[in-house]
Amino acid sequence: MTNRIQLLKFLIFRIVSIIRLILLKILYRRYIFFKRFKIYIPISCKIKIFGEKAVLKIGNNFSIRRYSDIEVNNGNLLIGDNVFFNKNLTIVCRSKIEIGDNCQFGNNISIYDHDHIFNSIPFEKNKFIVKPIYIGNNVWIGCHSFIGKGVTIGDNVVIGAGSVITKNIPSNSVYINGKIKQLIIEK
């Protein structure tokens, strides 16, 4: 009986996910592109796409957990194949964010390709400095991390939990507590 309940729950989740993808495609048909339907987006996730130049491309085998927010505002968000976002992820794209293949993101991660302009008084709420973000292939980003504008993270990188990334991280490295160490890859 338990196996039947688990199977039923899985089927319901899969059907809801496919319906959600179809609705997203209907709403944002000019702006959103999927490689295939092997994509999981729970109902609790918010996806917002604004502006004539906005594009969201999602590769195959994409999964995102609940309570995550993705906002593309006149930017390009490109997500590769085999990408996993854990819960409470926030991505706000006003320029360009490119995420490579085989990437994993822990929970409570924020990725912003812009900053507010704050050197004038009074502060102007809708003025931004924007720079693209590039995240390479085979990247693992630990929970509670922040990735800011203008950052390039190379291939085969591990980012430790609680990191604030405002500078480039080279390929084949581990970033923990503000220090970069060479990653040794066994073949």
pLDDT, one tens digit for every residue, the chain (187 residues): 577 777 777 777 667 766 766 776 666 655 566 656 567 777 778 888 888 888 888 888 888 888 999 999 999 999 999 999 999 999 999 999 999 999 999 999 999 999 887 777 777 677 888 999 999 999 999 999 999 999 999 999 999 999 999 999 999 999 998 888 887 666 6
Q: Please give the Cα distance from 34 to 38 (Å, whole number).
A: 9
Instruction: Measure the CA angle with vertex 72, ends 70 and 73; round to 5°.
Output: 140
144 close to 89: Cβ distance less than 8 angstroms:
no
| Catalytic position from the list 14, 46, 66, 116 | 116
Sorted by where each starts, the structural domains of the chain and their CATH numbers stand as: 2-182 (2.160.10.10)
pTM for this prediction: 0.82
pLDDT value at position 87? Answer: 93
Q: 41: Cβ–Cβ under 8 A, 6 or more apart, which residues?
A: 17, 20, 21, 24, 47, 64
Per-residue model confidence (pLDDT) at position 135: 98
**116 a catalytic residue:** yes
